Amino acid sequence: MSQEPKRVTPRPATAPHPAAPTLADQVGAKVSRKLKARRGGTPGVWFGLGMMGLIGWSVALPTLLGAALGLWLDHRDPGGRSWTLALLVGGLAIGCLNAWHWASREDQAMRDEQERPDG
């Protein structure tokens, strides 16, 4: 009885792992982040109040415009429907979407600034 030799399947070639950053690279990156933070400074109280004002007005203005248009329509065409309530809710929804847009845009700008390498 003859035995066939066992076949050896070759292992798939693996790509070499990228070199891990050295200690000097890590320290250099941390120092550059600290220097960038010192140059940029931290946003102050006025920046926060301005952002709250921007978001507040972006919600309040469409809500008030919707209510005013609804009052005008109710006064002009009195009927069983309340245009004031419907347009107030519609204006509030548009205002909330508007505020979400502004906040996400500002958040993305801050993230982009943090990730941008020093040039």
pLDDT tens track for 86-110: 999 999 999 999 999 988 888 888 7
Convert the chain into a string of H (helix), E (strand) and C (coil). CCCCCCCCCCCCCCCCCCCCCCHHHHHHHHHHHHHHHHHHCCCCHHHHHHHHHHHHHHHHHHHHHHHHHHHHHHHHCCCCCCHHHHHHHHHHHHHHHHHHHHHHHHHHHHHHHHHCCCC
Residue ranges of domains in the chain: 59-104
Q: What is the pLDDT of residues 16-25, one digit of tens each?
A: 556 677 888 8
Low-confidence ranges of the chain (pLDDT < 70): 1-19, 37-43, 117-119
Q: Quote the CA–CA distance of 81 and 48 in Å, as a whole number.
A: 41
